[in-house]
Structure 1
Amino acid sequence: MKLKSLAQTFNYLILLTITTHLLLPKTLYAGSSSAVILMYHHFGDETPPSTSVTLEQFDAHLDYLQHHQFNVWPLSKLIHHWETNQLVPERTVVLTADDAYISVYTEAYPRLTARGWSMTTFVNSEPIDRGFGNFMTWQQMREMQAAGFEFANHSHTHSKMRRIEGETEAEMLARVRQEIDIAQQRLNTELGAENVPRLFAYPYGEYSESAANLIAEMGYISVAQVSGAVDANSDRRALNRFPMAVNFAKIEDFRLKVNTRPLPLKSVTPWDPIVGENPPTLTLELSKPVRQLNCFNSRGQALNMDWQTPTRLVIQSEQALRSPRDRYACTAPIGQGHWYWFGHLWVID
């Protein structure tokens, strides 16, 4: 079968690597804080496939989660369990949606409510205030909130959380602060400050380390748009989420992703996703050795991997990464149907 895009090639090769190891001896993974965060945008067939899942796909996702007895939590509940050192049950998934598009209300809301589940939606407040028809209204959000759904900050104008052309570092940080403050004020006013968690989703999934540090200093826990599972040790300046879109939301892909675990990492260097020299080098310090780890760029090409010690790995793509965003991804089998999955964002000017 001919693959339709390089992105599909990347996804296919990861799945192929994983399938190759399905017959390995099984070992029990004892996780106590891990979860998978999923990111949606549109629900339906009439919106861009790059940011949409079909209703058939979404129904299949929910059926799978229910049939396999997953715990479906809002993001604030997961964070609360981490911060209070409570165990997170096995098979815990967080559903999130970015931008507060109308289909979250018309399609996702009734489907989730029927199962007693909720979702965390990240809101860029300007289009809501301007009454754009493809977004939800504040009243619809209040209705959903009363049913247990939560809403959080996605900036006011959907502005990038990094320097843009002609902008100094100080100007960027001032803009970031203003964008987040305005959006939070609008959320607090419309939905009640006591009901709005200090959570933030990066517009376009882009950020610099200095912007991420500022946002953390402002009291927010942030989520990114890079595939990978999370646990209590994950960096809360940019928690990984699996993006759900037509080409990557088939049920076999979904099944794989919701059963992943975070790679046991001690450090990632550089953490800053802004690329200087292209292709960049990434150093991973693991908390324990991991067998059969494989790493890829977004083209699906294997990365050069230099194991300097059993727990120190240096990886680099042979080819320059593509602007404006790219990624490295690493996977390894754990056993019992679970896989480690780690993704690192790169932003290329």
Structure 2
Amino acid sequence: MFTCIHKCFYAFLIRLLLMLFILPAFSFTVPAHKDHIVCFVYHRFGDGRYPSTNIAVDVFRGQLAYLKQNNFTVWTMGRAVHALTNEEEIPSRTVVLTIDDSYHSFYENGLPLLEEFGYQATIYLNTTHVGHKAYMNWDEVRDAQRRGMEIGNHSHAHGHFLDFPDPEERKEQFFDDLNTAQAIFFDSLGFSPDLYSYPYGEYDPVLKKALNSAGFSCASAQYSGVLYAGSDLFEIPRFPMGGPFATLKGFIQKSQMNPIEVISKEPEMIVMQQNPPLMIITLKNDCIDAEFLQCFVNGERNCITEMQEGPDYVRVKIISRDHLAGRRSLYTITAPSKDKKGWCWYSHVWVNTAISEE
């Protein structure tokens, strides 16, 4: 469920497309970083009424055809997390396709194409909207599951949990919503998912700890980046495939991205305590060429950086030159790999809870 401000956040991300033109073209090679998985998030399929979260059907077909022609492995989120937690070998070209919100356009236009190409995906449902206009109903959800789709929890009411400033109240509200959704899943499907996708991609340590204690195996966010063996499985990054990002060229480039491994970052929180926020992040430099590291704020080169290199790390201080205007904003770091075979990507999302989306 997207509000005007949420769509504006996606509009801000339009400028990230410029980064793809800044990155020089490179041929498809074995990734510079092994044991990583590129995850994508979709919402609507062939529904031009909502362009910021929609992908054209012919573009989605082209993306799936590209995966097939280039021998990609396509996993569900559950399969990917199982492989990572059990330290299984990850095929060199592995992606995960996820769908948030269970709009009917997926059932009508997206699911048949996944079947045609023999791929599975993970659908995250917010249970309060199942059966409403423009959303899948439970019969369709069960049918999608029979046809190979994996089901995850996207909350019950799709709320802004970070708007509760008191941690105990936030945890209580989150658990109430989570338990409501899990009960509905069990009544409707005969099981309760152990996969979660944060509404609006907003999370904090309170929500992560709650999901872990409730037995969930992972949780997906909505900032861009690459999942790898050392990732926090309760804040999995996903590249958005909606609006200006929903192109074949962008999909191909992002499917070849490598992760930038994070040693530490300050602050850990994504809720802004000052505007603009200062981030100090320490990165492994074993696979990135730090000399050509770039920083972006909402897709623009509008940041002040200070970098210190060590024997096996690079520490970067980043702050935006200007105040961040939206509820959600991104600091993004890119760098070429040392072997010159690809590019590496990391993003950090900031949430300004003073801006309401209700």
CA deviation digits over 1:72-111, x for unaligned, max 9? 1110000000111101101111000001111111111111
Q: Which residue of 2 aligns with 1:231?
A: 228
Q: State the alpha-carbon separation in 2 of the partners of residues 17 and 299 from structure 1.
A: 11
- Which piece of structure 1 moves more, 257-266 or 213-222? 213-222
CA drift at 1:197: 3.8
- Indicate if the aligned counterparts of 2:26 and 2:342 stay in contact, CA closer than 8 A: no
Amino acid at match of 1:181: N
Are the aligned partners of 2:43 and 2:99 in contact in 1 as well (CA < 8 Å)? yes
Aligned partners of 1:54 and 1:246 also within 8 Å: no
State the one-letter code of the partner of 1:322: A
The question of whether the paired residues in 1 share the 8 Å contact of 2:17 and 2:244 is answered with no
> What SS is found at the alignment partner of 2:40?
strand
Change in CA separation of 1:75 and 1:336 when aligned onto 2, cut-off 3 Å: farther
Q: CA deviation at 1:27?
A: 9.3
Q: Does 1:243 align with 2:258?
A: no
Runs of 4+ aligned residues of structure 1 deviating over 4 Å after TM superposition are 26-30
Which residue identity is paired with 1:344? H
1:44–1:55 Cα contact (<8 Å) kept: yes
1:143 is displaced (CA, Å) by: 1.3
* Counterparts of 1:239 and 1:23, CA distance in 2: 26
Structure 2 residues not aligned, in runs of 5+: 1-10
| 1:259 aligned partner | 256
Question: 1-side partners of 2:82 and 2:145: how far apart?
Answer: 18
Q: CA RMSD in A?
A: 2.2
Distance 1:29 1:74 in 2: 20
Deviations 1:240-289 (A, max 9, x none): 00011121112111111111111022122212100011111112212235
CA contact (8 A) 1:81 1:87 kept: yes
Counterpart-to-counterpart distance in 2, 1:242 and 1:81? 20
Gaps of 5+ in 1: none
> What TM-score, normalized by structure 2, do the two folds share?
0.88
Q: Secondary structure at the match of 2:335?
A: strand
Q: Percent identity?
A: 31
Matches within 5 A, 1:27-176: 29=31, 31-128=33-130, 131-164=131-164, 168-176=166-174
Q: Give 1:208 shift.
A: 2.7
Per-residue CA deviations over 1:135-167 (Å, capped at 9, x if unaligned) read 111111111111221111111011123124xx6
Deviations 1:225-244 (A, max 9, x none): 10111112111121100011
| Structure 1 residue 316 corresponds to structure 2 residue 319 | yes
Take 2:26 and 2:88, find their aligned partners in 1: how far apart are those partners?
Answer: 34
Q: Does 1:282 align with 2:279?
A: yes
Tell me by how many angstroms 1:206 deviates. 1.4
What SS does the aligned partner of 1:256 have? helix
**Do the aligned residues in 1 keep the contact of 2:32 with 2:342 (CA within 8 Å)?**
no
